[in-house]
């Protein structure tokens, strides 16, 4: 008897359902725990974060990318990273900064006529409706170069960058008002507000200023409107974080400061250093501002134009009674309004206390005109005792506070203690503490700075990772630790290193609130949301030459770039517009031309242009950079940069000499493939596929592909009739290419239908 091969045995065994798989998968959970040295507690934590293949996470987090100038999108509880969004920094994968439309977005962020291609991002903010996250836009600040960016969550792309007209740095942004009327941005380091104006440090108190900008947001347009925005002039106190009022405090905003000493250092002149001078006093100031009234005053013409921007000066703000100060201990950092808007919690970095201020008490003091003093600029100061609800000693180095879905429950980060404190701010009681690793900055609960926090999870954004991960050199990642807050005691679940920069703050939204598009309307410029002037329909591809300007109107569809050759003369200015004609989900094509530093990511429906000067003669391949199909490598072409006045000497391309037999074999392959397509089509039409929009799009796309074979069939048959086997065979091959794409889509649709419970129809 012949011996069965090993392969045959395993195939038969599999067919009979016998267990011949590798030993590891037969292990019991107990075995795995033992082998990997895991505890029951580890197992519980793993089960709480594990999201099996095919399943999705409950929350989506938008993390500041720190010095990367980007935004990192990750999922909770799995902590899987989903995307890096290019914001202030070029991002090659998305073509951000390498195609014409996105270059224009980055160019909006130019300052004094110069490109700034990085950003120090700190605080992302989600757009809100009635104080609840609405999943439409994310805003993020650049502390180093005072800018705010707008990301549209319909496609997770950066649409706008605005430069602050009067600041040189900003930190207290982005924070939004309850209906996203304004995006708040407070200055950090005081400077003269007039652009490029020099004043010596000796004139710091008189000429240097802080401030807050209220950027007007037009939700319909999805853009900030600089001309309708305004700022408020503030003393040079090093304003830090901000938060907008909500509920009873709606219409107000709160910003703290950490150097009301107005100290300017000068260690090189023998003076004590900044950190000594800025922390000398026991208190700094929280700024309390009626922004609604400020907006009215500006609208009534009470602002002053500085650098073409409306600024409400301190003098006016004091006179109109919309600006107040309250002492806060000591070198504070976070200022966080409670979900109901009744209290404002301030953590003093150098004090063990958090201070809970009462909005009602603040209002009562303002109404009664009860002030303990005025600051050097004449701003009324409300006594701390008249504004405080309570103070609670939480631990060393309290920084930031977030809220739970349970009333009165807050979580505060303790930087020096490396702990998270859970406490009750109504009663002023500490409830639980959990150690994190190491030196926590911000922390974040699900929708935890909105009017409706979702509880469940907390992420600790730890500044240091020290020994937590496999060493990778002196520069360590940051450590985002996921914590379960659903019970009375907090439980640490998971460590995620974030290696792109120092994220300061993260926000997380219920994933169900996000409704991003799958594709663009064909011919869309994704950065302007308008029709792209270079959009091209199938069959209308062309190259237009005017003088030394060459403009290509091309298309992309699996597995083909039209045109396949672009011929220019050295010195020509070349613009290549490309429209992705795909309708299938996730069929993105990339595009680059060798050595011209251009790249585009062209998602289905999008039109993108790349532009460069063909300033060197030679031959430059261009190709699709996304592995989009089995014939992705063949998605290619040549840019031929010819010397001036070049004349062709050879008229024809080399031939392959295909035979009649080659042609017949190809025709048979085409017939066989058609049989497969027919069987897939028979299945799809036998079920209720029309109830699945995803499938309808795929089926449309598939028939589009198949529809193209008709004309080509005529071509290969005509060539065969003339015994031109070369062209007959190649055109027949092209029919097969379209069939392969059709079959690919058809099978994808079939799999989708099978997995999503399609039902038989009569």
Q: How far is the CB of 554 from ligand CUK (least distance, A)?
A: 44
Q: How far is CA 698 from the centre of its chain?
A: 28
Return the number of the residue (223 or 583) whose C-beta is nearest ligand CUA: 583
Q: How far is the CB of 627 from ligand CUA (least distance, A)?
A: 6
Distances (CA, A) of 662 to 24, 317, 667, 673: 49, 86, 9, 17
Pick the closest to residue 573 from 610, 608, 620, 614 (CA basis): 614
Return the number of the residue (72 or 298) whose C-beta is nearest ligand CUK: 72
Buried-state track 316-326, b at ≥16 Cβ within 10 A, e below 16: bbbeeebbbbb
Using DSSP bridges, classify how beta strands 323-329 and 283-290 pair: parallel, antiparallel or unpaired: antiparallel
Q: How far is the CB of 554 from ligand CUA (least distance, A)?
A: 13
From ligand CUA, ligand CUK, none, interface partner of 140 (C-beta below 5 to 8 A by class)? none
Return the number of the residue (49 or 559) whose C-beta is nearest ligand CUA: 559
Return the number of the residue (425 or 738) whose C-beta is nearest ligand CUA: 738
From ligand CUK, ligand CUA, none, interface partner of 441 (C-beta below 5 to 8 A by class)? ligand CUK
What order of strands is seen across the sheet that includes strand 147-152?
121-129, 132-142, 147-152, 157-163
Q: How far is the CB of 188 from ligand CUK (least distance, A)?
A: 9
Which residues sit at the interface with ligand CUK, rule CB under 6 A? 122-123, 171, 241, 333, 399-400, 441-442, 504-505
Measured distance CA(108)–CA(720) in Å, rounded:
58
From ligand CUA, ligand CUK, none, interface partner of 624 (C-beta below 5 to 8 A by class)? ligand CUA
Return the number of the residue (122 or 583) whose C-beta is nearest ligand CUK: 122
Q: Which two tokens stand for residue 293?
A: 């009234």
Pick the closest to residue 423 from 433, 434, 415, 431 (CA basis): 431
Is the Cβ–Cβ distance between 420 and 483 less than 8 Å?
yes
Return the number of the residue (347 or 628) whose C-beta is nearest ligand CUA: 628
Q: Which two tokens stand for residue 67?
A: 């010095």
Return the number of the residue (75 or 561) whose C-beta is nearest ligand CUA: 561
How far apart, in Å, do the first and last CA atoms of the chain sit? Answer: 51
Torsion sign, CA atoms 40, 43, 48, 49:
positive
Q: How far is the CB of 399 from ligand CUK (least distance, A)?
A: 5
Q: Which two tokens stand for residue 611?
A: 């532009």
Q: Where are the alpha helices (DSSP H) in 193-343?
A: 204-207, 274-278, 291-299, 314-319
- C-alpha triplet 226, 228, 233: angle, nearest 5°: 85
Return the number of the residue (462 or 562) whose C-beta is nearest ligand CUK: 462
Q: How far is the CB of 378 from ligand CUK (least distance, A)?
A: 30
From ligand CUK, ligand CUA, none, interface partner of 254 (C-beta below 5 to 8 A by class)? none
From ligand CUK, ligand CUA, none, interface partner of 589 (C-beta below 5 to 8 A by class)? ligand CUA
Q: How far is the CB of 476 from ligand CUK (least distance, A)?
A: 16
Measured distance CA(710)–CA(346) in Å, rounded:
71
Return the number of the residue (92 or 497) whose C-beta is nearest ligand CUA: 92
Q: How far is the CB of 241 from ligand CUK (least distance, A)?
A: 6
Measured distance CA(595)–CA(636) in Å, rounded:
15
From ligand CUA, ligand CUK, none, interface partner of 557 (C-beta below 5 to 8 A by class)? none
Angle between helix 660-686 and helix 709-721 axes, rounded to 10 deg: 160
Is the Cβ–Cβ distance between 71 and 501 less than 8 Å?
no
Return the number of the residue (244 or 720) whose C-beta is nearest ligand CUK: 244
Q: Three-class SS string for 585-606?
A: CCCCEEEEECCCCCCEEECCCE
Return the number of the residue (122 or 343) whose C-beta is nearest ligand CUK: 122
Measured distance CA(562)–CA(146) in Å, rounded:
42
Measured distance CA(397)–CA(401) in Å, rounded:
12
Q: How far is the CB of 201 from ligand CUK (least distance, A)?
A: 24
From ligand CUK, ligand CUA, none, interface partner of 606 (C-beta below 5 to 8 A by class)? none
Measured distance CA(551)–CA(555) in Å, rounded:
13
Return the number of the residue (207 or 442) whose C-beta is nearest ligand CUK: 442
Q: Where are the alpha helices (DSSP H) in 551-628?
A: none
Residue 553 phi, psi (nearest 5): -110, 100
Using DSSP bridges, classify how beta strands 549-557 and 573-580 pair: parallel, antiparallel or unpaired: parallel
Return the number of the residue (287 or 741) whose C-beta is nearest ligand CUA: 741
Is the Cβ–Cβ distance between 286 and 328 less than 8 Å?
yes
From ligand CUK, ligand CUA, none, interface partner of 505 (C-beta below 5 to 8 A by class)? ligand CUK
Q: How far is the CB of 182 from ligand CUK (least distance, A)?
A: 19
Which residues sit at the interface with ligand CUA, rule CB under 6 A? 589, 624, 626-628, 632, 635
What order of strands is seen across the sheet that includes strand 419-424?
398-403, 409-414, 419-424, 429-435
Q: How far is the CB of 599 from ligand CUK (least distance, A)?
A: 32
From ligand CUA, ligand CUK, none, interface partner of 288 (C-beta below 5 to 8 A by class)? none
From ligand CUA, ligand CUK, none, interface partner of 504 (C-beta below 5 to 8 A by class)? ligand CUK
Q: How far is the CB of 184 from ligand CUK (least distance, A)?
A: 13
Q: How far is the CB of 286 from ligand CUK (least distance, A)?
A: 16
Buried-state track 41-79, b at ≥16 Cβ within 10 A, e below 16: eeeebeeebeeeeeeebbbbbbbbbbbbbbbbbbbbbbb
From ligand CUK, ligand CUA, none, interface partner of 635 (C-beta below 5 to 8 A by class)? ligand CUA
From ligand CUA, ligand CUK, none, interface partner of 444 (C-beta below 5 to 8 A by class)? none
Q: How far is the CB of 213 from ligand CUK (least distance, A)?
A: 17
From ligand CUK, ligand CUA, none, interface partner of 628 (C-beta below 5 to 8 A by class)? ligand CUA
Pick the closest to residue 462 from 443, 445, 448, 484 (CA basis): 443
From ligand CUA, ligand CUK, none, interface partner of 725 (C-beta below 5 to 8 A by class)? none
Pick the closest to residue 581 from 552, 608, 554, 605 (CA basis): 605
Q: Give the DSSP letter of residue 78.
A: T
Return the number of the residue (174 or 556) whose C-beta is nearest ligand CUA: 556
């Amino acid at each position: 008897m012949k011996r069965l091969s090993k392969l045959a045995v395993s195939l038969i065994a599999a067919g009979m359902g016998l267990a011949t798989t590798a030993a590891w998968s037969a292990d019991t959970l107990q075995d795995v725990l033992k082998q990997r040295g895991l505890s029951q507690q580890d197992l519980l934590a793993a089960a709480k974060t594990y999201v099996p293949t095919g399943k999705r996470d409950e929350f989506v987090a938008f993390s500041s990318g720190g010095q990367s100038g980007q935004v990192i999108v990750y999922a909770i509880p799995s902590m899987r990273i989903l995307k890096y969004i290019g914001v202030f920094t070029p991002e090659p994968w998305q073509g951000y900064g390498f195609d014409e439309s996105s270059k224009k977005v980055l160019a909006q962020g130019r300052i004094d006529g110069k490109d700034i291609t990085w950003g120090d991002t700190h605080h992302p903010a989600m757009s809100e409706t009635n104080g609840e996250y609405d999943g439409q836009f994310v805003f993020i600040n650049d502390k180093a170069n005072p800018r705010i960016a707008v990301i549209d969550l319909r496609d997770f792309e950066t649409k706008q960058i605005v430069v602050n007209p009067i600041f040189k740095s900003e930190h207290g942004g982005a924070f939004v008002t309850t209906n996203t009327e304004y995006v708040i941005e407070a200055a950090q380091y005081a400077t003269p507000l007039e652009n490029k104006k020099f004043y010596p440090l000796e004139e710091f108190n008189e000429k240097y200023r802080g401030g807050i900008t209220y950027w007007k947001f037009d939700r319909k347009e999805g853009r900030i409107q600089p001309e309708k925005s305004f700022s408020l002039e503030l003393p040079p106190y090093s304003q830090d974080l901000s938060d907008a009022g909500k509920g009873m405090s709606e219409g107000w905003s709160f910003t703290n400061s950490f150097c009301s000493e107005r100290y300017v250092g000068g260690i090189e002149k023998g003076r004590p250093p900044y950190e000594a001078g800025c922390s000398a006093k026991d208190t700094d100031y929280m700024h309390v501002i009626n922004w609604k009234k400020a907006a009215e005053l500006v609208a009534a013409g009470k602002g002053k134009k500085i650098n073409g921007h409306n600024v409400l000066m301190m003098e006016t703000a004091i006179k109109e009674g919309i600006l107040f100060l309250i002492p806060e201990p000591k070198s504070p950092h976070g200022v966080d309004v409670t979900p109901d808007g009744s209290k404002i919690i301030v953590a003093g970095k150098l004090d063990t206390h958090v201070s809970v201020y009462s909005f009602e008490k603040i209002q009562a003091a303002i109404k009664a005109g009860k002030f303990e003093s005025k600051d050097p600029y004449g701003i009324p100061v409300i006594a701390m005792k008249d504004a405080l609800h309570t103070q609670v000693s939480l631990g060393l180095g309290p920084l930031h506070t977030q809220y739970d879905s349970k009333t009165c429950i807050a979580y505060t980060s303790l930087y020096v203690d490396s702990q998270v404190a859970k406490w009750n701010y109504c009663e002023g009681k500490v409830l639980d503490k959990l150690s994190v690793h190491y030196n926590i900055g911000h922390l974040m609960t699900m929708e935890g700075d909105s009017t409706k926090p979702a509880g469940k999870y907390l992420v600790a954004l730890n500044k240091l990772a020290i020994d937590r991960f496999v060493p990778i050199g002196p520069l360590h990642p940051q450590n985002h630790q996921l914590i379960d807050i659903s019970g009375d005691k907090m439980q640490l679940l998971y460590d995620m290193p974030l290696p792109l920069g120092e994220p300061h703050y993260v926000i997380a939204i219920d994933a169900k609130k996000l409704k991003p598009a799958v594709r663009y309307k064909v011919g869309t410029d994704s950065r302007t949301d308008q029709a792209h002037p270079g959009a091209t329909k199938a069959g209308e591809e062309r190259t237009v030459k005017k003088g030394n300007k060459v403009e290509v109107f091309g298309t992309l569809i699996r597995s083909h770039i039209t045109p396949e050759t672009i011929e220019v003369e050295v010195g020509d200015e070349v613009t290549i517009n490309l429209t992705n004609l795909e309708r299938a989900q996730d069929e993105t094509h990339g595009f680059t031309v060798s050595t011209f530093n251009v790249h585009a990511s062209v998602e289905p429906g999008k039109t993108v242009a790349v532009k460069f000067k063909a300033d060197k003669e030679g031959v430059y391949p261009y190709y699709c950079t996304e592995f989009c199909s089995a014939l992705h490598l063949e998605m290619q072409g040549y840019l031929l940069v010819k010397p001036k006045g070049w004349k062709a000497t050879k008229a024809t391309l080399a031939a392959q000499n295909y035979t009649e037999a080659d042609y017949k074999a190809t025709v048979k392959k085409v017939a066989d493939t058609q049989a497969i397509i027919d069987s897939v089509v028979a299945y799809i039409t036998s079920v209720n596929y029309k109830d699945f929009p995803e499938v309808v799009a795929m089926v449309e796309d598939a028939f589009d592909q198949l529809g193209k074979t008709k004309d080509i069939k005529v071509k290969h048959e005509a060539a065969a009739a003339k015994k031109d086997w070369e062209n007959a065979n190649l055109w027949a091959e092209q029919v097969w290419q379209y069939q392969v794409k059709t079959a690919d889509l058809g099978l994808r649709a079939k799999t989708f239908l099978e997995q999503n419970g399609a039902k038989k129809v009569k």
